[in-house]
Structure 1
């Protein structure tokens, strides 16, 4: 395959790898390895299908080893966030509900083969014969993989507000209430069983378990805002994995990314990624120890 053809396909291949792995760093490694293999391929009749097949198979192998690392992960594991306005040309693809942080976390509960079959068929609209060709399984087996994945996901699949304007209005109301430290206003915006999940990776202080419930979460979030004020952090509204969110910075340094999961006119979950290793693709990250000392 020509270098130009492979470069044109990179955003698509990255979208496959990221859905499979939930980490930008691993997805980029998969795409790079796929690039090396594709560059040596000749007489490829269907370049896009062939490139997707190579990428998916590498991602399956990578996910198997990544699972071992995640079993040893300190605290709550969340995917590495993607910001719509921060994606480079080699990574840019449409961010939708299939790459939301909540959904990627749910995909972690599937086996690598189930995840690949589900991503290809349900997220990327591959037919069952096409899925079978990629996974080197017969069509009946691939139907079973997708069926098992759906059964596993359906009961816990996150809900999202279909109306983007409604999501943005609720996100703006959340930002205003949080900025004012208004616990009562925050409570009105949160679902009764809302979950707040923080990922510090053992490198930055974060709640060891999710904070669950409207009142507890409102107080917890107000506390986070007070801490951000003490550290003089700036918050910029952005879209995180296709959902409303915030980018937290200290000067030129990235401190954290917060995503809101919104459905039924309420915030169902808040995901806060502050592990610096998961933010490096967004720019220079801050040293939290020096940040606290400096303030």
Structure 2
């Protein structure tokens, strides 16, 4: 099998691992490209690869661990709250529902609490269902250590990992009602859609106006969303419903059809539990042309006004 054929067959799994490891589309793409480049070089040397699937998974995971170690230092200096780069997804077959859950923005944020090796071991075992001997081989440790890494990760994530049971239609209807109520300034209708402990997160990376810290609680989140939607409307911004990281959401476009930001919603027990607003231009470029609206708004703001 040629490298091109291997790429077509194995790239989806390779990207799935890398993206969940890094929370970045651009960094995941770089890791996948490097893994296949190394595979190509190995084959050119006429070296045998017993299992291309295991070989690529090993390269991707180890490269992602190295990348994550350097990225963690950068994220400690990040301005405001760090959120993953959004991934626009499509309808997910039922048999991949568990894997789709692991794409959620809320879940990827939780993974930030794990060490790079814990994150790798947990994802390989709990999301991609690799047996412990393969997990150990991929991350370069023994089986007992791999079990310990997964157990530690489970402890960190216990009772916090989001589980979404609503049907696709229910999620879409709830999202549609949410954005309509926020856009119309209907606080009562909006609050009825939110969980009591709902949390609103924003990521502007210090480059465009965004929340400096999470907003928690039904009333505060509702008021913040109404104010934010009102501001977007004054600038002629429109919303387009999409699926973000396996869940309902929307892309915000300016009058020139350039991307302003992405909203992702997490729904639990028929209520919106989390709202993620990603407006950092660097995290949107993989989705298309990015608006300069946020940059212009920031330039026009007085010191201390950046939320």
- Give the TM-score normalised by the residue count of structure 1: 0.93
**1:104 partnered with 2:121:** no
Task: Report the equivalent of 1:4.
Answer: 4
Q: Structure 1 residue 173: deviation in Å?
A: 1.2
Query: Per-residue displacement from partner, 1:60-92 (whole Å, max 9, x unpaired)?
Result: 00000000000000001000000025xxxxxxx
Task: Report the equivalent of 1:89.
Answer: none
**1:47 partnered with 2:52:** yes
Task: Report the equivalent of 1:253.
Answer: 258
- Give the TM-score normalised by the residue count of structure 2: 0.90
Task: Report the equivalent of 1:118.
Answer: 122
RMSD (CA atoms): 1.8
How is 1:1-295 mapped onto 2 (pairs within 5 angstroms)? 2-8=2-8, 9-41=10-42, 42-84=47-89, 96-250=100-254, 251-287=256-292, 288-290=294-296
Question: Partners in 2 of 1:151 and 1:73 — Cα distance?
Answer: 27
Task: Report the equivalent of 2:303.
Answer: none
Q: Structure 1 residue 293: deviation in Å?
A: 9.2
Question: Partners in 2 of 1:290 and 1:152 — Cα distance?
Answer: 41
Q: Name stretches of at least 5 consecutive residues in structure 2 with no aligned partner.
A: 91-95, 301-307
Question: Partners in 2 of 1:44 and 1:65 — Cα distance?
Answer: 29
Contact 1:128–1:143, Cα closer than 8 Å, also in 2: yes
Q: Structure 1 residue 291: deviation in Å?
A: 6.6
Q: Structure 1 residue 228: deviation in Å?
A: 1.0
Q: Name stretches of at least 5 consecutive residues in structure 1 with no aligned partner.
A: 86-92
Question: Quick one: structure 1 residues 66 and 271, their matched pair in 2 at CA, closer, same or farther if it must change by over 3 Å?
Answer: same
Question: Partners in 2 of 1:246 and 1:130 — Cα distance?
Answer: 38
Question: Partners in 2 of 1:215 and 1:291 — Cα distance?
Answer: 26
Query: Per-residue displacement from partner, 1:210-256 (whole Å, max 9, x unpaired)?
Result: 01000010000001110110110110000000000000111231110
Question: Partners in 2 of 1:161 and 1:230 — Cα distance?
Answer: 36
Number of aligned residues: 287
Q: Structure 1 residue 164: deviation in Å?
A: 2.2
Question: Partners in 2 of 1:159 and 1:59 — Cα distance?
Answer: 26
Question: Partners in 1 of 2:240 and 2:147 — Cα distance?
Answer: 43
SS at match of 1:206: coil
Question: Partners in 1 of 2:295 and 2:51 — Cα distance?
Answer: 52
Contact 1:6–1:38, Cα closer than 8 Å, also in 2: no
